[in-house]
Chain A
Amino acid sequence: MAKIVIDPITRIEGHLRIEAEIGGGKVNDAWSSSTQFRGIEKILQGRDPRDAWYFTQRFCGVCTTVHSIASIRCVENALGIKVPENAELIRNLIIGIQSIQDHVIHFYHLHALDWVDITSGLKADPVKTATLAASISDWPLNSPTYFKGVQERLKAFVSKGRLGPFANAYWGHPAYKLPPEANLMATAHYLEALEWQKDIIRIHAILGSKNPHPQTFLVGGMAIPLDPNSQSALNDNKLEEIRLLLAKAREFVDKVYIPDLLAIASYYKEWAGIGAGAGNFLTFGEFPSDNSGKPELLWLPRGVIIGKDLSRVYPVEHKKIAEYVDHSWYEYSAGSGKGLHPFEGETNDKYTGPKAPFQYLDTNGKYSWVKAPRYNEMPMEVGPLARMLVAYASGHKQVKQALDGVLAKLGVGPEALFSTLGRTAARGIETSLIAAQMPTYLEKLVANMKSGDLAIHNNEKWDPSSWPDEAKGYGWHDAPRGALGHWIQIKDQKILNYQAVVPSTWNASPRDAKEARGPYESALVGTPIADEKRPLEILRTIHSFDPCLACAVHVMDTEGNELVKVTVL
């Protein structure tokens, strides 16, 4: 049986390698590995917990806000800080626009080229393309002239024989099924989305100075002052600008992204039966409705689904989370075969893989820098699909309506959601719902400001001298790529231990102590492969998860044993 390697998996964040055994025209087994390690958690030890968000933000520049959010929440949880409602609302706006922008970039710039053959678009008839586009959306740019212009730009580019970032792809692969017109339409929107994303993400710049890596988070609140009458604060002008940008974001999602997604999906329905994965789903829920911290007040609910059973949603208990290292390049002092909870975890990185340059990893032994987190000893898929399924199964009205609508349009049942296509569709549906929800938070903020409430920071525990000698806590955030948790232990005003269990750690995890595959690995098993030298189908399923490997290997699950030992001895 042939073993193939795809390294680098491109159009993702970070360094991911897939090794797969191919036979009989399909994937028979697969191994997911990350080959990059930075050790940021170890770097955090001994530092000021108020700085942690700035460090953890650098886990990832794509999901550039998520580790800041999880970090400030975990420090606030440890110190018992309640943030002002305005800060919570601003965080919701930052989280929301991050999700919208991130999901659209994922669809067009990271995932679309698995389904869209750009070179085929050169053969398209611009008039027919405009007709096709007009049949699915009233987006104003749908004109023959517009599509002709895009086509000519592409032609000029291709005729010079230098395809730049589009060179050497799997163009012409038999698994590409879109007609030339759909390919041209999607290519035009690939370019349009590039323009759109940099505009709408200015919301981060207004609220937080810049993107990527907005610089505005504070333990206890936010750093952007509120004052309707000040030029140096979030004022009426800037609120109006945000309002317009939110509208622009929503318009593109509903008039371009969703119609494109549905049109493309209709040509690839067989992918609703491919790439199921773990079948268990975990979400921490997101968008607090107020500053009470109550999980039942999250707009998208928290929960666990086991074995594709949508009739039951289990509550999330953080004690059931544990990480295994049986196939990861780390060692536990208690030996192998055991999972450790984030508060008790330890990290000793120990690379036992081949010396570079290498051809294959030893996939029977340890083969990744990603650990294997498990919930109640089970692998879990996290991300938009998990969020949408948990909301659907919990009877969330908007989610149910949206999901049922899309399923009806594609003529498939809910079982189709457990698939590569389901994952990609769930991301789109969620984007549309979040875009519709955002104005609620903005208008609430405006109403508060109108009533004279300008609070953005709870200053009571800003000064470390007000803290207890020891504290520990955790902060959760359901990021674009899924359930994210940070755990912190504070001692003498400094970080004793810091640990993050990250969405792509869940999804990209290698096998665990029971040899159970991680979600990428199990999703790949059974994937058809038309041409093993050009494994386009593997990219489809892997990209449907939206991998973010810098996040996954942040990461040394440090347990700061050195510091602990010092105090014990």
Chain B
Amino acid sequence: MDKTKEEQLDNQQNKPLKEPTIWEEKGISRRDFIKFCTAMSAALALPVTFAPKIAQALDEIKRPTLVWLEFQDCAGNTEALLRATTPDVATLILDILSLDYHETIMAAAGHQAEEALNGVLRDQKGKYICVVEGSIPLRDDGIYCCIGGKSALSIAREVCGNAFATIAVGTCASYGGIPAAAPNPTGAVGVKDAVPGATVINLPGCPLNPDNLTATIVHYLTFGKLPETDSHGRPLFAYGKRIHDACERRSHFDAGQYVEIWGDSAHRNGHCLYKMGCKGPETYHNCPTQRYNMKTSWPVASGHGCVGCSEPNFWDTMSPFYKRLPNVPGFGIESTADKIGAGLAVATAAALTAHGVISAVKKDKDTDEKMEN
């Protein structure tokens, strides 16, 4: 952000923003700090005028405790956390928060590690934030995932049940994810199903975008409550829009320009991946705008279709991944995640399929039919 905007920002508050000394202590310049707060307002889909409020809240925080539990996981969300950029992971887990338990990162092991968790439960009941990564197996008394001799289910009941709130990161913790894919051998479920009484917000994705986790935490620190969610428990700021509607290739879809074969000229020129199985038309996530790894890219931008990884049960409902969606809602129909229902999908399917066929006929009838079958 340039100097003028920064000043404007300050002027929007009646009194000038208090110098964030705590941040300067950490070697973070005021300029960078404001930049971060502005980026956060953008990530949270808030007007830029919220940046000073975020700055003030972060300035006053006293490092709330975060515990990060890993159950039936692959540590993909932990790795995503390590790629966090706004702010970086060290600032996030050392300065903004106190990350008191995280198996993959923490120095302590065994009993001493368990003691760290017990300390949080003892001293900070109802105050700490819990992050859960991985699903929780319910079959056979949960013996498919045990830590320190205790089942994941019993740990989740205790730790999520006593947290201020639980953030389920990734699709496994949100909805059961891959362990819950048919035939769900271990009876895996997400946190909300395992501990119905807990306050849970879901940040699905495989893995989640770490920017969305930071934004959720910043939202909590700024407003003292969790962001608003849709019917799947996902915050609207990150899962309120359909990938298809924000997709950089949408104009090619509308124009009927599709990739037909991997590596063809349409593929090289960034045409629509719908016929290669892209699930963007049925997926709600902010990938096209937020992107990944310092905003470097996201699946469609790198030439592969979306697989719908932020949707509950996508492993079963969106696969086979390379098969074209039979019924894409769209074309002037403005839908939100909550409104999309089977009826709507059926109603729009005909129009959509017709569009797909007609546009393809214009280009290559044979390929289209092959892909459809």
Contact = CB atoms under 8 A, between A and B. Distances in A.
Interface of A: 5-15, 35-40, 42-43, 47-48, 50-51, 54-55, 58-62, 64, 105, 109-110, 113, 118, 149, 153, 156-157, 160, 162, 164-170, 191, 194-195, 197-199, 201-202, 204-213, 215-216, 218, 220-221, 223-227, 230-233, 349, 351, 353, 355-359, 454-457, 459, 462-463, 534-535, 539, 550, 556
A43 B320 contact: no
Contacts of A166: 106-107
B263 A156 contact: no
A454 B178 contact: no
A215 B110 contact: no
A561 to B, nearest CB: 14
B78 interface: yes
B268 interface: yes
A308 B306 CA distance: 48
B321 interface: yes
Summarize A's interface: helix, strand, loop or mixed.
loop
B147 A59 contact: no
B112 interface: yes
B263 A36 contact: no
Given A197-B82, A550-B73, A209 B301 contact: yes
B80 interface: yes
Interface in B302-360: 302-304, 307, 315, 319-323
A208 B77 CA distance: 17
A455 B263 contact: yes
B304 A164 contact: no
Contacts of B268: 225-227, 230, 232-233, 454
A212 B79 contact: yes
Interface in B90-144: 90, 93-95, 97-100, 102-110, 112-116, 137, 140-144
Contacts of A220: 262
Contacts of B177: 58
Interface residues of B, number: 96
Contacts, number: 322
Contact of B115 (A48, A168, A197): A168
Contact of B74 (A11, A61, A199, A218): A61
Nearest to B292: A210
When A and B form their complex, which 9 residue pairs have the shortest distance between CB atoms, in order from nearest? Answer: A61-B76, A232-B270, A39-B185, A169-B107, A209-B302, A210-B292, A457-B262, A205-B293, A205-B296
B85 interface: yes
B289 interface: no
B89 interface: yes
A10 B297 contact: no
Given A168-B116, A213-B207, A356-B141, A61 B263 contact: no
Interface in B150-180: 150-151, 154, 177-179
A357 B150 contact: yes
A457 B302 contact: no
Contact of A48 (B25, B72, B184, B322): B322
B182 interface: yes
Nearest to B26: A153
Contacts of B206: 58, 213
Contacts of B27: 149, 153
Contacts of A212: 76, 79-80, 83, 207
A265 to B, nearest CB: 20
A191 B303 contact: no
B186 interface: yes
A234 to B, nearest CB: 9
